[in-house]
Chain A
Amino acid sequence: DTAVSQTPKYLVTQMGNDKSIKCEQNLGHDTMYWYKQDSKKFLKIMFSYNNKELIINETVPNRFSPKSPDKAHLNLHINSLELGDSAVYFCASSQGAGLSNEQFFGPGTRLTVL
């Protein structure tokens, strides 16, 4: 039983395309996140949703648009993909957005833009 799942695991696409990554958690958490891990393994938060509402929106190009249809899902849509978007994207979830903030991570989606 996978706690946080992401699809697809690998995504290879051409510059300029639009793509989506899906995330689902079955932990009953109310907060979900998207992180980007670059080629040097640096992890940076992109977005966070709490009860389907956006609560964290870091400095991310507006080509990136998260969507949370319900508490268990947080999808990431990327328009007009660029070479610099190549990275591993991690979804995570937690119970609450603050205190202790233990986050559970998905396996990641490796995006390669050619």
Chain B
Amino acid sequence: AQSVTQLGSHVSVSEGALVLLRCNYSSSVPPYLFWYVQYPNQGLQLLLKYTTGATLVKGINGFEAEFKKSETSFHLTKPSAHMSDAAEYFCAVTSDRGSTLGRLYFGRGTQLTVWP
């Protein structure tokens, strides 16, 4: 079985501050990990993904995430927050094996607020 836990349903930062959104996963098989962003009244957009290879993954809009197998984590970071980063962020996990094939399991989301 696979699952995702996002610590903190709400995160607030000042513009220019570091953004850190936490994601821990549970998976019995090698996972593929994703971060999606949802702006108000819109669908989800892929920020970045980890499948295999380099554990530090760079995405769009200056975001990056690091896959740490020993910690079962895939935290999302951005060095300097911008007002336009305010949105809901979802971490998700899937696998290309067994019963989880094709199923994307989402965390409950983290609402990021950016203060001027």
Residues of A near any B CB (own CB < 8 A): 4, 31, 33, 40-45, 48, 50, 55-56, 90, 92, 97-108
Provide 11 A-B residue pairs closer than 8 Å at the C-beta atoms, listed in order of the A residue: A41-B108, A42-B106, A55-B102, A92-B44, A101-B102, A102-B34, A102-B49, A103-B44, A104-B46, A105-B43, A108-B43
A-contact 0/1 string along B32-44, CB 8 Å cutoff: 1010101001111
B-side interface residues, number (CB < 8 Å): 23
When the two chains form their complex, are residues A107 and B43 in contact, meaning their CB atoms are under 8 A apart? yes
When the two chains form their complex, are residues A105 and B96 in contact, meaning their CB atoms are under 8 A apart? no
Given A40-B108, A100-B32, verify A105-B103 contact (CB < 8 Å).
Answer: no
Residues of B near any A CB (own CB < 8 A): 32, 34, 36, 38, 41-46, 49, 51, 88, 90, 94, 96, 101-104, 106, 108-109
The smallest C-beta distance from A57 to any residue of chain B, in angstroms, reads: 11
Given A41-B108, A42-B109, verify A99-B43 contact (CB < 8 Å).
Answer: no
Distance A100 CA – B46 CA, assembled complex (angstroms): 12
- Nearest CB in chain A to that of B101: its residue: A98
The smallest C-beta distance from B2 to any residue of chain A, in angstroms, reads: 12
Distance A31 CA – B96 CA, assembled complex (angstroms): 14
When the two chains form their complex, are residues B108 and A101 in contact, meaning their CB atoms are under 8 A apart? no
- Nearest CB in chain A to that of B90: its residue: A43
